[in-house]
Amino acid sequence: MLELEHGFRIVDTHLVVESDDDRRNSDIGDPETIERELHQAGVVKAIAFSDERDGSYLKANNAVARMAVDRPFTAAARINGALLPKTGPTTAVRNLTRSRNDHHTTPEDIEQYAYEDRFVAFMINPATDGVPDDAVLETLESVGLPVITFGGVAFPPAQIESTFLQYDFPVIIAHCGGYPLNRELMDNTIELLGRYEDCYIDTSFVRFRDPLERAILEHPDRVLFGSGAPSIHPDVAVMEILTLNIPEDAMRRVFSKNAARIIEEIAP
């Protein structure tokens, strides 16, 4: 793809990377290719995290942190939990008998990730990673780093609200809460922006103009650019924002200013 020319400083809050030794998904390119594609799109910084995997994320997180050195990546620590997403009354009963195992993230892990300066945020997909218990969520609140969570059919906005938004830390809901391409869930997620000051969305995998324009115009300080790279080429993701019918100042907020406000390490 051609290198884009747009004049915006762009920060990407949704990038998946894995090392050559750990890569199991052929959709995830090597870090050098991803870095080149980010440059083509004008992305100067990207919040990077591991792809999903079974077991502990410790090794994968350390690999992401190493790959971030001398690259325009900033690492987010991927975490997991022992509890199941609440899909009905039987889930609540099953969760009563579930507890952390050795491969689950502990409060001590959260503190170590937060205070060693290699990680600027946390990331979790409850549908595949499980849900943290109260002790882990309380530690996330105490360290105060942003938490990126996947939103969509498998973990809808109502569950994000009852699980994460009851705590005092920034929550970034990926895919405008509507993965895969569910307009109703996107609309429900945008409603959360009006109720919670520390709630944000990223633009990855949205594809629809209407919900993005609505979210940006109604809540210009809460929408963060996310490409979803490498599954989506950053050029494509950037063009989706450039072609929206929104003011230039709003684009600058989406592309950079909003993310820099909650993650100071990616500020200019």
Identify residue 175 by its one-letter amino acid code. Answer: H
| Residue 26 in this model has a pLDDT that exceeds 60 | no
**pLDDT tens by residue, 189-214:** 999 999 999 999 999 999 999 999 99
CATH code (residue 122): 3.20.20.140
**pLDDT tens by residue, 55-73:** 999 999 999 999 999 999 9
Model confidence at 92, pLDDT cuts 50, 70, 90, reads confident
Number of domains in the chain: 1
- 120 in a domain, yes or no? yes
Closest CA to 83 of 32, 22, 122, 133: 133
| Residue 74 in this model has a pLDDT that exceeds 60 | yes
- 5 in a domain, yes or no? no
Three-state SS for 58?
Answer: helix
Cβ–Cβ under 8 Å, residues 178 and 155:
no
Q: What is the mean pLDDT of residues 146-164?
A: 95
Q: What is the mean pLDDT of residues 87-101?
A: 83
Bridge partners of 121, per DSSP, are: 76
- 2 in a domain, yes or no? no
What range does the domain containing 112 cover? 10-266
Q: What is the mean pLDDT of residues 105-111?
A: 98
| Residue 93 in this model has a pLDDT that exceeds 60 | yes
**pTM of the complete model:** 0.95
3-state SS, 171-200, equals EEEEEEEEECCCHHHHHHHHHHHHHCCCEE
Three-state SS for 118?
Answer: coil
Q: How far apart are CA 97 and CA 55, in angstroms?
A: 19
Between 21 and 267, residue with greater pLDDT? 267
Q: How far apart are CA 221 and CA 129, in angstroms?
A: 29
- 101 in a domain, yes or no? yes
- 3 in a domain, yes or no? no
